[in-house]
Amino acid sequence: MTTLALQKEIIELKAKLSLLEKAVMAPFDEEGEYKPVFVRSMLRRAAEKPKLVFEYKKRRDLLKQLHAR
The pLDDT of residue 36? 80
In this structure, what are the phi and psi dihedrals at residue 22, rounded to the nearest 5 degrees? -65, -40
For the entire predicted model, the pTM comes to: 0.36
The ranges assigned to domains in the chain are 3-68
Q: What is the per-residue pLDDT for 63?
A: 77
Separation of first and last alpha carbons in the chain = 34
User: Which residues of the chain fall short of a pLDDT of 50?
Assistant: none
Contacts of 61 (CB under 8 A, 6+ apart): 54
